[in-house]
Amino acid sequence: MGVRDEITSSSFGSDDARTVLDRLATIFAHGAADPARVPDRAAVREIIRPAYRNLLELLPGTEADARFPPGVLSGTPLLQEDGHGSYRFAASGETLWAERNGTRERLGNPPDLWTFVLDASPGPRVPLTRLFNVRVLEAQLHWEPEPGDIALDDTELASFRAGLQQLAPFILARLSADRAIEALQARDAASLRRVLAGLVPVQELHVGCKLDDRTLAGLSQRAAFVETSSDAATRAFVTWDEHGWPPSADGAEALATAFAEAFGASHFEAFLALIRAPDEAARRRLLALAGATSDIEGFVSALTDADQPEPDDQRPEDDLALAKEPGGDAEEKPAEQPEPGGTGGAVEMTPLYAATDLLIAGAPITVTGEEPTNGKPAPTRRSATQTKAGATTGYGGRTDLSALDALGMFVAMTYEVNRLLPDVPTACIFEPGLKADQLDACVFDISSPTLIALARQHSTAFDQAMHQLTANGVHEQHPGCDILTLRPGSSNPIDRLIELKSSGQHARTQAMTWNEWKTAQNDQVRSHFYLYLVANLRSDLPDARPFLRAVRDPYATIRAQEQVDHSTTRRVVLRVAEFEQAEHLELGVAASDGDTGVR
């Protein structure tokens, strides 16, 4: 190519870059001495694109480098393509670069649109725009959407918005599986907030586009259109029928198209699968298959807290927040799928009590916590034991976290009903499976938007309580707690907002998502907010009695430390053994076969 044999970023200068670019154009340009060398797909794929990538890697990726002043490579020849198999060289200042996948397809792949052959490649924006004066295609396009009338009435529009709010954390979680950089994840969260706020369901939609005052794409019918910008109003439309949620087959494809326009066409199939999933459990399974985290609460926080700080890139690698479900010291791990090609033998799970094994009765006692450790190591605890060959009973293991969470929920809700019964003899737990009004229900599982919607439909008291909480700053779809208890007849029927933490053992630390912590510190509800710890739920620890501990106003009474992990989630780690005062109830355990009495 006519440059030095040894090339490094420190020895590679602007003259070298210009030599490489000129030689590429001389060898492959139309009219070259060897007509066989005119660019074809193979030459572009095997020679030209790799050469451009290597060159751009040698150029400075920052805004300041004295060896490469702005525009130093302006006018150099760059290879363009029209998307239909034709190529040509043109001066860099006359070249457009498509920063995102799918832009050409959005335009209908017009034959008169020529772009740099490294469309949507990661990393070259700064050198292309600063050194070559290449223009970014997306920044030059002027879109002209012409939406029809809104498709929904007020009631159906509310249903549409609620459905989007339930879906949104799963969309963000799926995106995080492909974006390891925190800045990208934070940008995705901000973009999705804007899309959710601005998306309008319409009966029909036509979109045109201009480039440099010429019509690049005439008005054509479209299923969706999204244009987001941090410094301009978001314009977002999706074609919809007369039903708010769930979407029809066409509506699902239109919504997936809208998300793909906002985040990239390569995610269309993943978005469509999440939209079509019948329930939350199905969406969680899809996330697991894609290798994405199922900690949806963390992404709820990213969507509901627009004022989150940027993640701290300087945080040490080992300074990570704890997971939501298990206790931090117990080190419970979710059950893992066998490796492909493994033996396929049964995986021995950490044993948990069955709900029928536990006796939840009696009056709780008041206990006080340990003295603060001020960050020093916690007191020494007993070591792991072994009850039978192959069954580890120490810390860790393979825990079905869904079963653990369900067992903790059963204990907490039963405790709540028992606590209310002396004053409210008709108190009972709301049953989501009953398709009828439940006027006596006082204890509600509010851990998902679906459960909240069912309770609002079948309990007037619950619906009024949620209106009250929303007016006080609690999110109506993701309230930041798991259980709501009402006390009928009192001046304020909202009795307790309960954040539940379940653990197989006695964990000394627990983590709350930022959304949960926001509710815990809300001055309007703090006096009603409780942290419930249901612990020692493993059945292979005979000397550890299961218990429930209820700590009122954890924001004021438990030592906490804020942490930010390396995705987008912001958490608060609580030292749950260091509290001022709490209700404490030890649970009975039904006798096993061959035993008598209750432990």
pLDDT in tens, 213-257: 888 877 788 899 998 765 557 889 999 999 999 999 999 999 999
Of 279, 294, 309, which residue sits at a domain end?
294
- Mark whether 87 and 121 lie in a shared domain: yes
Q: What is the dihedral of CA 155, 161, 165, 167, to 10 degrees?
A: 100
- Mark whether 156 and 277 lie in a shared domain: yes
- Mark whether 210 and 81 lie in a shared domain: no
Per-residue pLDDT at 544 exceeds 80 = yes
Query: Average pLDDT for residues 544-552, to the nearest whole number?
Result: 91
The answer to which of 157-161, 450-454, 582-586 has the lowest mean pLDDT is 582-586
The mean pLDDT value of the chain amounts to 79
Query: Average pLDDT for residues 10-32, to the nearest whole number?
Result: 83
Q: What sign results for the dihedral spanned by CA atoms 328, 329, 330, 334?
A: positive
Query: Average pLDDT for residues 506-523, to the nearest whole number?
Result: 79
Comparing CA positions, the residue from 141, 139, 90 lying closest to residue 114 is 90
Phi, psi of 167 (to 5 degrees): -80, -35
pLDDT, tens only, 287-339: 888 878 767 877 887 787 554 444 443 333 333 333 343 444 444 554 444 44
- What one-letter code names the amino acid at 9? S
Q: What is the dihedral of CA 342, 345, 351, 357, to 10 degrees?
A: 140
**301 within a domain of the structure (yes/no):** no
- What one-letter code names the amino acid at 243? H
**276 within a domain of the structure (yes/no):** yes
Of 267, 294, 321, which residue sits at a domain end?
294
- Mark whether 126 and 179 lie in a shared domain: no
CB contact set of 554 (below 8 Å; sequence gap of 6+): 499, 520, 529, 530, 531, 560, 574, 579
- Mark whether 264 and 355 lie in a shared domain: no
- Mark whether 151 and 59 lie in a shared domain: no
Give the three-state DSSP class for 286.
Answer: helix
Per-residue pLDDT at 425 exceeds 70 = yes
Q: Give the range of the structural domain holding residue 127, as residue numbers without chain letter.
A: 14-133
Output the pLDDT for position 256: 94
Give how many domains the chain has, as a whole number.
3
Q: Would you state the structure tokens that stand for residue 312, as one six-digit string?
A: 């701290």
Residue 247 CA to residue 251 CA, distance in Å, equals 5
Per-residue pLDDT at 532 exceeds 90 = yes
Q: Are strands 570-579 and 386-388 parallel, antiparallel or unpaired?
A: unpaired
Output the pLDDT for position 382: 32
Per-residue pLDDT at 576 exceeds 90 = no
- Mark whether 437 and 368 lie in a shared domain: yes
Comparing CA positions, the residue from 559, 499, 487 lying closest to residue 526 is 499
Output the pLDDT for position 319: 32
Comparing CA positions, the residue from 170, 179, 129 lying closest to residue 294 is 170
- Mark whether 123 and 153 lie in a shared domain: no
Per-residue pLDDT at 599 exceeds 90 = no
- Mark whether 403 and 437 lie in a shared domain: yes
SS3 letters across 398-453: EECHHHHHHHHHHHHHHHHHHHHCCCCCCCEECCCCCCCCCCCEEEEECCCHHHHH
**522 within a domain of the structure (yes/no):** yes
**594 within a domain of the structure (yes/no):** no
596: pLDDT confidence band, cut at 50, 70 and 90? Answer: very low
Q: Would you state the structure tokens that stand for residue 15, as one six-digit string?
A: 């003259």
pLDDT, tens only, 173-224: 898 887 756 667 788 888 899 999 899 999 999 998 889 888 887 778 889 9
**Partners of 366 in the beta sheet?**
583
- Mark whether 433 and 536 lie in a shared domain: yes
Query: Average pLDDT for residues 454-477, to the nearest whole number?
Result: 91
**267 within a domain of the structure (yes/no):** yes
The helix, strand and coil proportions of the chain, stated in percent and rounded to the nearest 5, come to: 35, 25, 45
Output the pLDDT for position 39: 76
Residue 493 CA to residue 474 CA, distance in Å, equals 16
- Mark whether 96 and 233 lie in a shared domain: no
**418 within a domain of the structure (yes/no):** yes
**596 within a domain of the structure (yes/no):** no
- What one-letter code names the amino acid at 565? D
The answer to which of 69-83, 369-383, 480-494 has the lowest mean pLDDT is 369-383
- Mark whether 439 and 464 lie in a shared domain: yes
Do you know the residue count of the chain? 599
DSSP 244: -
